[in-house]
Structure 1
Amino acid sequence: MSLLEVSNLTKNFGGLAAVSNVNIELVENELVGLIGPNGAGKTTLFNLLTGVYEPSEGTVKLTIDGQEAVLNGKKPYVIAALGLSRTFQNIRLFKDLTVMDNVLIAMNGKNKVGLLTSMLRLPKFYAKEAEMRRKVIELLAIFDLEDKIDTLAKNLPYGEQRRLEIVRALATEPKVLFLDEPAAGMNPQETAELTKLIRKIQQEFGITILLIEHDMSLVMDVCERLYVLEYGRLIAKGTPEEIKNDPKVIQAYLGGEL
């Protein structure tokens, strides 16, 4: 059964179709890539899936534990609560807050102690807060950031800011994680480390990942399946090997062999 089913998804901006009649299916615990040049509509598609934009046509359906939810028209925070989380092409951390606070904010939706308990600062409130901080430290340790909990996000090196944004997304306990060009701006060593990290995330957290990325070596290395967009339209889908040898992909995106 599909975890996320995207059917005939279209987004028009005036007379321009940024995304046109796109069909995508994601199942549990798989790592899928979405590739294409700048302007192909990849980030627009992410924005449609996460509630930033509302589709002009088509539907987005999430199915978890047999429960179906149509995501059309839902606010981003509602979609996040249902189990979809994302990072951004341009890092969007709370730069003047600490590493700890950046992740705690994301985890806040899971803090269900109740309004009265929070207002009166009852023992249950402090117990829950301590539990959340422990979970944050455990998450940060996976990403080698546990020694930076009191560092302001803006003072982290670029690669660590990227990792922190992924930690923050994982703190919402998603079923599906969307990564929008996580290797952007990274040097080859950082990209290699990120490749290992993405594999580790999928294995340790058991989640589905949809990855936008221009680095073909990373995409071909970690993804099980690929979707290819051109001018907002889906032109190819298949395994990395199939995509690598697809004439339409080579001609439209790669200009030659991978």
Structure 2
Amino acid sequence: MSLLEVKQLTKNFGGLSAVSMVNMELEDNELVGLIGPNGAGKTTLFNLLTGVYEPTEGVIDLEVEGKKTSLIKRKTYTITSLGLGRTFQNIRLFKDLSVLDNVLIGMHEKNKVGTLASILRTPAYYQSEKKLREEALELLALFNLETKTEELAKNLPYGEQRRLEIVRALATKPKILFLDEPAAGMNPQETANLTALIRQIQKEFKITILLIEHDMSLVMDVCERIYVLEYGRMIAHGTPEEIKNNEAVIKAYLGGE
């Protein structure tokens, strides 16, 4: 089976169908794009896959230890623990906490010492805290943030806040990383750096990445496959070359007649 299988996924808000009968598959260690005009339903689809919204109907199955596991009606934190991590279109850091603490919060699910050990501050508690801190510092170093560990997240430049949000998502050790418009608000140089960073993430962590992005040059440059949404429906799927030459995509997304 695929790592993630989505079948006939639908979300209605009153009389409006924000996502309608969407089918999608993600495999191990691939980089996939999700594009479409504003209001096409891309972020709504992310919210369905990560448990923020409950589908009106449809199937979301994740491969866990060789078995299909349904993500329908599961809490967001449970879905995160099963291996889905994400960033947001609008940065959602803990802005009054340090850079390091933001990453450690992402790791809390991996702390296995238990409540009693945490309360009593046993040797096992301190060993676990030390290990998590070392892992957090290693992650920050990979993204050139190791010198910013004690800075408040809100004091970082915009591009570094974006990187920190990705680091925090990676701290959950996801099988699939959902990136929601990571280049939003970036200048061309920051976008170029982000493109290199996304490649580095896949190389270093060997995970699947699903990327929502309006910057078509970034999408065409890094993605192996691309899905295209319009008005909540999937209108195309293929390689970057196929999508670039797809008449329906040109008309819906790139402004063709």
Bucket of the pairwise TM-score, normalised by the shorter protein: over 0.9
1:51-62 alignment, distance < 5 Å: 51-62=51-62
1:239-258 alignment, distance < 5 Å: 239-256=239-256
TM-score (norm 1): 0.98
Counterpart for residue 33 of structure 1: 33
Once the 2 structures are TM-superposed, how far is the Cα of residue 119 of structure 1 from its aligned partner?
A: 1.1
CA RMSD of aligned residues (A): 0.9
Distance in 2 of aligned mates of 1:17 and 1:114:
43
Once the 2 structures are TM-superposed, how far is the Cα of residue 75 of structure 1 from its aligned partner?
A: 0.7
Task: Say if 2:98 is the partner of 1:91.
Answer: no
Write out per-residue CA displacement over residues 75-132 of structure 1, whole angstroms, 9 at most, x where no aligned residue: 1000000000100000000000000000101101000011221111111111111111
- 3-state SS in 2 of match to 1:254: coil
Distance in 1 of aligned mates of 2:30 and 2:256:
28
Aligned AA (1:54): E
- 3-state SS in 1 of match to 2:253: helix
Distance in 2 of aligned mates of 1:154 and 1:204:
27
Aligned AA (1:185): G
Counterpart for residue 226 of structure 2: 226
Displaced runs of 4 or more, over 4 A: none
1:161-176 alignment, distance < 5 Å: 161-176=161-176
Counterpart for residue 235 of structure 1: 235
Aligned AA (1:39): G
Between 62-71 and 160-169, report the one with greater CA deviation: 62-71
Aligned AA (1:174): P
Task: Say if 2:24 is the partner of 1:24.
Answer: yes
1:182-193 alignment, distance < 5 Å: 182-193=182-193
Distance in 2 of aligned mates of 1:37 and 1:252:
7
Between 111-120 and 139-148, report the one with greater CA deviation: 111-120
TM-score (norm 2): 0.99
Once the 2 structures are TM-superposed, how far is the Cα of residue 65 of structure 1 from its aligned partner?
A: 2.6
Distance in 1 of aligned mates of 2:146 and 2:250:
42
Write out per-residue CA displacement over residues 154-173 of structure 1, whole angstroms, 9 at most, x where no aligned residue: 00000000000000000000
Identity %: 74
- 3-state SS in 2 of match to 1:150: coil
Once the 2 structures are TM-superposed, how far is the Cα of residue 256 of structure 1 from its aligned partner?
A: 4.1
Structure 2: give runs of 5+ residues left out of the alignment. none
Write out per-residue CA displacement over residues 163-205 of structure 1, whole angstroms, 9 at most, x where no aligned residue: 0000000000000000000000000000000000001101110
Distance in 1 of aligned mates of 2:117 and 2:55:
40
* Aligned positions, number: 257
1:54-93 alignment, distance < 5 Å: 54-93=54-93
Counterpart for residue 209 of structure 2: 209
